[in-house]
Amino acid sequence: MAKSINKILPISGMTCASCSAAVQNALNKTKGVKKANVNLATEVASIEFDPELVDMNSLVKAVENSGYRVGREDATADNTEEKLKAAARRMWTAWIFTIPIMLWMIPEMFWGIAWPNQQVYHIGMLTLAAIQLVVVGSTTYRSAFKSVTHGGANMDVLIAMGTLAALSTGIMHFFIPIASFTGVAAMIMAIHLTGRYIETKAKGKASQAIRKLLELGAKTATILQNGTEKEVPVETLQVDDIIIVKAGSKIPTDAQIIEGEAAIDESMATGESMPVHKTAGDNIIGATILKQGYLKAKVTKIGKDTFLSQIIKMVEEAQNSKIPIQEFADKVTSYFVPTVIAIAIISLAVWLIFPQSLGKVLVWAVNFLPWINPELGYLSQAIFAAVAVLVIACPCALGLATPTALMVGSGKGAENGILIRKGEAIQTMRQIDTIVFDKTGTITRGTPQVTDFYSKLEEKEVLKLAAGIEKGSTHPLATAILEFAQSKQVEAADMTDFQIIAGHGIKAKHNKNNFLLGNLELMQANNIETEEIKLRIETLQKQAKTVVMLAQADHVIGVLAIADKIKPDSAAAISKLHKLGFRTVMLTGDNQETAAAIAKEANISQVIANVLPDQKVTTVKDLQNKYGRVAMVGDGINDAPALKQADVGIAIGSGTDIAIESADITLVNNSLNSVVKAVLLSQKTFRKIKQNLFWAFAYNMVAIPLAFLGMLHPVIAETAMAFSSVTVVSNANLLKKEKLEI
């Protein structure tokens, strides 16, 4: 069976949560589609499907069969501006017709004067309202018609039914004694389109994170060609091109410095404002700014492989994902519009059957609700209540509650060097009470150095053998030994018959002699005498140093102590996590004494030492069984399975690509303070989601019964409906002002 692939499709024509639900259902029912999520806020469908069972044409057809269209794939800022301008045009046109209607209604409403006479007044109101509904309401009516003909019912169906019902009273008024609500129909449409405009504007603000990231990239680059500097478009750069970057300019793409040194502002990636010093051999990130200095660098990544492109991809993935709490809202939304139509019909029927009983409610309410008119005829009051029910109900607020908060949260995260790859991590993070840290490169700097060296033989000879055994290894401890040998101007010996003992050390031969290089466990397993150096080993371990021994035959001939200092802010960050109520655990392959010393320095609650690389997943599982939900923070290849196993995987951004791909959250900054920020971001984002869902549900639960009882004027009802969505989006935008610190 073919591997499933993921595809993002922009969807055009969606106006509310019922629309996105209809598209999502259509895609999920398509054979070969494993999972489809349709996001109303970003107006895209994220689809996982089997390419052997379904192709792009089938997906497009499924969207079209639900009554919507697949839009442009390059939908960026220009598209958003076009939508905003179109929404503004419709809104102002609606008010051009509605304001005269309102002014004409005032004498009749307050003094009972229908100027110049009743017949002209009603014909004029009916004409103006009808023209307005045709001119600016056509989009709404087309959307409603399309939704119904495709077996669905969206928000536009409610608006269409409400306005047409109100308009019909103007026609009925000429034949039966009924109040005319034609002016109300025009006002409902004008307020509806005003709400759409404000909502579009607010959604644009919520989604600006991607646009900001797209705008960060440099447009041109200076390359060195045959000894001459030449300015070229960034799109033409190739890997291994030599670029020149001068003070004050943007670095055009990811590269490695080959000459020069500079202070670089990496705040767009890390959120940290202090410039970072870089020199030959260091990697630099495209779109960061060279503040001081001059650099010659070799291009290492271009196009979609660059760091900036990966950030954009991660933010898009987060914004297009759905989190568990949204599932309930989606279920409610799928039944929302049909239920509201049913309630409106029941309202009409109840008012016609029990007018006197419900009329008593209005007589009581007229004392504090000035728009209520108990003297309206029963048919007029029944239509009044039914129209109010239709236009007060709002599934949009439910549909926008989660995705807008997720959009703003993921954007704020990107600005602070926190890349949320999976949206569900935001919800899961609040259920975490234990955070597990890998030691090397996570709590510590990841660049250990030899601090002590003891030898029974001639020092250079022992160091030559140790370097020979470690030659070719990329392990941090091996690198430390090789660098130490190089600093002593010692060349590595030629070794043969290498045998790696995972988590313990290496066996090798030199001139037919067997040598062992590794930890105490390796020595004991091979019956190497260590009693005479036991005190020395214990002393070094208490100083948080890792002890590596070189043995020949049955005795130790050399001891190297290697220390990896903790990062400057590790202890403070872990203390902050304790304040937030988290339990912290450190995993390390070090022995218990060394691990305990590092844990004490870093303020870690619990230490699990002597953990081999292949035991990390099992250890995380054990912690999950013991404590419940667990987050894991790591950076290496051997951390990837554990990051996957954890309920939330957090990768240090300077770590390996595989660790980052395995994680739910990636921290661009190497600082553990970013873990604190990530926790606070997830908590604050989820709080906004809960607030939005509460207000969306509460609004509908309170508003619909009031409208049913005839206590809400349709115009006030529509105003409340229009601004319920705006309130939800605006509340999500407040997240931008939240501070991620403790």
Q: Is 667 helix (H, G, I), strand (E, B) or coil?
A: strand
- d(CA 713, CA 560) in angstroms, rounded, equals 84
From 569, 571, 589, 541, select the one nearest 439 (Cα to Cα).
589
For residues 18 and 341, the answer to whether their CB atoms sit within 8 Å is no
From 326, 246, 331, select the one nearest 21 (Cα to Cα).
331
For residues 195 and 723, the answer to whether their CB atoms sit within 8 Å is yes
- d(CA 448, CA 445) in angstroms, rounded, equals 8
Cβ of 712: how many Cβ atoms within 10 Å?
Answer: 27
Cβ of 246: how many Cβ atoms within 10 Å?
Answer: 13
Q: Is 517 helix (H, G, I), strand (E, B) or coil?
A: strand
Q: Phi first, then psi: give them for residue 739, nearest 5 degrees.
A: -95, 135
For residues 654 and 663, the answer to whether their CB atoms sit within 8 Å is no
Question: Sheet containing 665-667: which strands, arranged edge to edge?
Answer: 418-420, 665-667, 648-652, 630-634, 434-438, 583-587, 606-608
438 flagged as catalytic: yes
Radius of gyration of the chain (CA): 34
- d(CA 61, CA 23) in angstroms, rounded, equals 11
Q: Phi first, then psi: give them for residue 104, nearest 5 degrees.
A: -70, -30
Residue 233 preceded by cis peptide, ω within 30: no
From 348, 356, 370, select the one nearest 165 (Cα to Cα).
348
Q: Is 662 helix (H, G, I), strand (E, B) or coil?
A: helix
3-state secondary structure 291-344: EEEEEEEEECCCHHHCHHHHHHHHHHHHHCCCCCHHHHHHHHHHHHHHHHHHHH
Number of H helices, E strands in the chain: 25, 24
- d(CA 613, CA 438) in angstroms, rounded, equals 11
- d(CA 619, CA 637) in angstroms, rounded, equals 16
Which letter does DSSP use for residue 570 in this model?
Answer: H
- d(CA 613, CA 19) in angstroms, rounded, equals 49
- d(CA 731, CA 698) in angstroms, rounded, equals 15
241, 254, 265, 438: the catalytic one is 438
Give every CB contact of residue 122 below 8 A, 6+ residues apart in sequence.
114, 170, 173, 174, 180, 182
Q: Which residue in the block uniquely carries the two structure tokens 């410095």?
A: 257
- The first and second tokens of residue 221, run together, are 């680059």
Residue 116 preceded by cis peptide, ω within 30: yes
Catalytic positions are 438
